[in-house]
A and B are shown apart, each in its own frame.
Chain A
C-alpha cells in the first residue's frame, strides 16, 4: 500500500445526464463537508435533459482551495461512452470505481480498479422499481464511502441535508448506500492511497451556497419589488430562488398579498422593458439573464442610459450563442455589456468574485441604480452562479436603502415648483426625479430618449443635446468614484496579477504555488468598471502585470490598456483561457513562470 494521501484529492463522477446522479454527488459532498473537510463542488453538465455525458467534481483539500483542478484522483465511471476518455484523464495511482461490465483489458496499469456490478446489484438488491435508476447511483455513494473511509454517520447527515424537504426519501437512499457498502466489504480491498479524515478548524461556521441563490437573497435584502425574466441557463435559478424565498418571506400572512412581483416575461426585450417601466415608476426592479438575453436588451439599455432610469441587470455569463456550449462558463460579456447599446452609452458594472459578493453586490446594486438613475449591471458567471461555494454566513444589512434623488410633493412645494428633471443642481451630474403618482400639479415630466432639455422639454437642439451628454459624462465620473474599490492583496512585488470575477480562486492558489517557488506576486481584483485610479496606481507600482481572464480576446486587458497612461501599457500581458471550464491554478502559474523566467528587459 502506498503512503496515505489524506483529505487532498479530486473526486469525479462521470455519469449520463438525467440518470439522477445529482443527488448522489450532493450527498457525498455534504458528507465530506460534514467531516470538517473543505469541499469545492463543480457540476459540468451538457445542454441537454437526458442522455449526454455529465461530470461532477469535488475538489477536496485541507487548505480549502476552491478552484477547479484538472486531474482526477478518485473516479466513478458510470458512462460507457466516456469510459475510455475518463480513464485517460486520471492521475497515476488513482482509484477507479467502474461498472464491472467495462473492459479493463489492456487499459492503464498505473491505476487501481474497483469493478462493481452496479446494474446487477440494482436489479437484485433494490426493490423499488420506480426509483431503481436513481438509487443505482446511491450504490456508488456506499462504495466511495468505504473506499475513502467516510463514516456512515456522515453519509446519513448528507442524506438528511440533501433531502431536507422530503425526509421520507432518506431511508430508501440509505438502504441503497448500504448495498454499496456491503458489496465493498464482501468483494473489494483498498489498494490506493486516498482517504479522508475528519478535520477541525477549516469549515467551522461556513455555509454552502450557490452564487445565484446569493444574488436572490441580495435582491430580497436590497428591496427589489419587481423582477422580470425569461428562462435561460445559467441565470434562471436567480429568479427561481427569488420566487421561492418570496413565497416564504414576502407574502402577507393575513391577506395572501405579495410584496413583490416576479414575472416570467415573453422574452428578454419584455423582461427589461418591464423592469425599466417599474424603475421609472419608482420600484426597485431587476431582470436576470445571460449573454443571448443581454443581446436582446441592448436597445432598452440605451434608453435607460439616456432617459436615466434605474434598473438592475444580472448577467450570469456563459459561452456565447445557444446550442453547443451554453452550459459552460465564460467571462466574455464584459466588453459587450460595458458599451451595450447604440450611441454614447456606457454602464457601470459590478463584478462579484465570490458568493458573498454576489449577495452584497446584488443588494447594493439597487442603491446604486437609484442613486445614479441608470442601468447597473452585475456580471456573475455559470461557475460562480450554479455551483455551491463555502463561505461565511452573509452579513445582515445595517444601512437603510438609498432611494436617490426623488422629489416628494412637499419638496416640490418648497421649491415653488422650480425644478427640472435633467438639471445638475448638485454638480455631480445626477438630476432630481419625480415619480408618477406624486400629488402635485408640477410633479409631472415627460421621459423620452435623446432629445430633452434640462426641464425634460422636447428639443432637437444639438447644443442642448451635447450639454446633456456632457452632464452624463460627469455623472459617469461620479459613478466611477463611488463603485466598489478593487481588492488588492500584496504590495511587495514587482509582479502583479489583475483579474475579475470567479478566477479569484484559481489566482489565490496560483499565487501560493508561485510563492512556494520563490516568486511573490501581488494581486488586484477589479470589482467594478469603469476602472478607477486605484487600478492605475497598481499598474504604476508594478513592473510586469498579468491580466487573467476567461475569454479569447482579453476584454479586461483591453479596458486596462485604454485606461492606464500610454507609457504603462507595455507592462501588461494577457493570460486567457476559454475552454468553458473554470480556470485551474496551473493555467495561471505555467505562463507566468515561463514569462518570468525570461523577464522582458
Chain B
C-alpha cells in the first residue's frame, strides 16, 4: 500500500499524536481527527507548530495530534496569555490553541477577550460541550437557558455566546461549527490557520458522558436536528491555483493575507456577507431566536494588522537576538550613566 505524502513530504501519520484517553464517542476526539486532516493537508511543518491549551478534557487533546510538535498544557483558563507570550518570542510559530467552554467562557473569559482585542495571530478552538467534562458534568457558561443537566437541574442563566463576544471585541475571524461536521470544519480550520490574526472557532462538541441526553442543547441529537449551516466553505491554499469556476452570484471568495482563498458557496436561502459585522451579529441572534444552531464562517476581516505587527516586532524571533542586538553599546551605556550624574 502506498502512502500519500503531503507537499512537505510527510505522511498523515506524522500528524498523529499519543492515543486519546478521552471517552469513546467524545466530540473532542472528532475535532482532533479533523485537525490532523487539516494540518496534514495544508503541509504545516510540525516544528513550526505550537499546540497550546488550558485545562479540561478538551485541553488534553493537543497531546493527541502532531506528536513531534511542541505542546503546552498550561493552567485553567490561561491558554491565551501563554499563547501570546510564545508568539511574542517567535512570531513565525503557528499558534494553535485548544480550549473548552469552561476554560474559555468562565475562568478564562478575561484572557479570551483580551487576546481577541489584541488580534493575536493564532487559531483558538473552543471545544464547546456546555459542560465541565473533566470535573464531571457541572454546567458551563455556554449552556442554554432551559437545558437540563444529567441529574435534572435546569439552567436558568443566560449563556455567553463566544462568537458574539468575539465579533464585538474586534475578532477578525469568527466561526461556529460542529465536531460531527468535518466537511465544514476542516476547511474552516485550514482557513483559520492561514488567517493572519485571531481566528476563533466555537465548535459544538458533545460530551457523551455528561451532556448528551434529552434536554441538553449540546447533544448529538439536538445538533443534528437544529444545525443550520450558512455558506459552504472550501479552502484553496496559496500554493494552489483557483481552478474551479463558480457560477456568478453563488459564492463569495475571501482572499486571506497569505494568498489563500476561502470560497464560500451559498446554501439554500441564506445570503450572509461574512465581511459585514452587524450582519454577523444578526445571524447569530436570529439563530438564538429560532432555536437553531447557526454554523459556518460568521465574520472575517482578513487584512487587519495582527498583534506582532502592531507591536512592530521583527520577523526574526525575539528569542534569537544576541548580546550585540540587545545590550546597549558601551557608548550608549556611558551616555545613560552620564545623564544620571
Contacts and interface: CB of A to CB of B under 8 A. Distances in A.
Partners in one complex: yes
Given A226-B318, A263-B84, A273-B85, A444 B69 contact: yes
Nearest to B308: A261
B73 A277 contact: no
Contacts of B225: none
A401 interface: yes
A400 B325 CA distance: 12
Interface of B: 14, 18, 21, 45-50, 52, 62-63, 66-75, 78, 80-90, 92-93, 110-111, 113-114, 311-314, 317-323, 325-328, 330, 332-333, 336-337, 339-341
Contacts of A449: 73, 75
Contact of B84 (A274, A401, A446): A274
B81 A394 contact: no
A303 B326 contact: no
A477 interface: no
A256 interface: yes
Interface in A412-461: 434-449, 457-458
B47 A226 contact: no
Interface stretch (A215-223, A317-325, A378-386, A526-534): A215-223
B337 A207 contact: yes
Contact of A446 (B73, B83, B320, B341): B73
Contacts of A401: 322-323
Contacts of A458: 18, 21, 63
Contacts of A440: 47
26 contacts: A205-B341, A224-B326, A225-B318, A226-B318, A249-B332, A257-B312, A259-B318, A272-B81, A275-B85, A276-B81, A277-B87, A278-B89, A278-B319, A281-B86, A281-B89, A281-B317, A282-B90, A284-B319, A299-B75, A394-B337, A434-B70, A436-B48, A441-B46, A443-B47, A443-B68, A444-B67
A446 B71 contact: yes
B327 A221 contact: yes
Given A281-B50, A447-B72, A437 B93 contact: yes
Contacts of A32: none
Contact of B50 (A207, A265, A436, A441): A436
Nearest to A256: B312
A579 B85 CA distance: 38
Contacts of A223: 321, 323, 326-327
A281 B319 contact: yes
B70 A283 contact: no
Nearest to A260: B318
B328 A220 contact: yes
Nearest to A452: B73
B71 A435 contact: no
Given A249-B328, A436-B93, A441-B46, A263 B88 contact: yes
Chain A interface mostly: loop
A274 B87 CA distance: 9
Contacts of B80: 270, 273
Contacts of B84: 263, 270, 273-274, 277
A400 B88 CA distance: 23
B89 A400 contact: no
A440 B47 CA distance: 7
B81 A273 contact: yes
Given A209-B340, A261-B313, A444-B69, A300 B18 contact: no
B75 A278 contact: no
B283 to A, nearest CB: 29
Contact of A258 (B67, B69, B78, B312): B312
Interface residues of A, number: 74
Contacts of B78: 269-270, 273, 299-300
A145 to B, nearest CB: 21
Contacts of B86: 277-278, 280-281, 436
A164 B336 CA distance: 13
A285 interface: yes
With most chain A CB atoms within 10 A of its CB, the pick from B68, B84, B339 is B84
Interface of A: 164, 205-209, 217, 220-221, 223-226, 228, 245, 249-252, 255-261, 263, 265-267, 269-285, 299-300, 303, 393-394, 396-397, 400-401, 434-449, 457-458
Q: Which 8 A-B pairs have the closest CB atoms?
A: A277-B85, A273-B81, A283-B89, A281-B89, A282-B319, A277-B82, A278-B85, A274-B85
A276 B317 CA distance: 16
Contacts of A260: 318
Given A223-B326, A245-B336, A261-B311, A281 B110 contact: no
Contacts of A255: 314
B314 A252 contact: yes
Contacts of B328: 220-221, 249
Contacts of B68: 441-444
Nearest to A436: B70
Contact of B71 (A251, A269, A444): A444
B9 to A, nearest CB: 11
Contacts of B62: 446
Nearest to B91: A261
A438 B90 CA distance: 11
Contacts of B52: 277
Given A260-B318, A282-B320, A396-B330, 5 more contacts: A267-B110, A270-B84, A274-B88, A444-B70, A447-B70
B202 to A, nearest CB: 21
Nearest to B73: A448
A562 B62 CA distance: 43
Contacts of B325: 259
Contacts of A256: 312
Contact of A225 (B74, B89, B111, B339): B89
A208 B340 contact: yes
A229 B80 CA distance: 15
Nearest to A437: B90
A221 B330 CA distance: 11
Contacts of A396: 330, 333
A113 B12 CA distance: 89
B326 A220 contact: yes
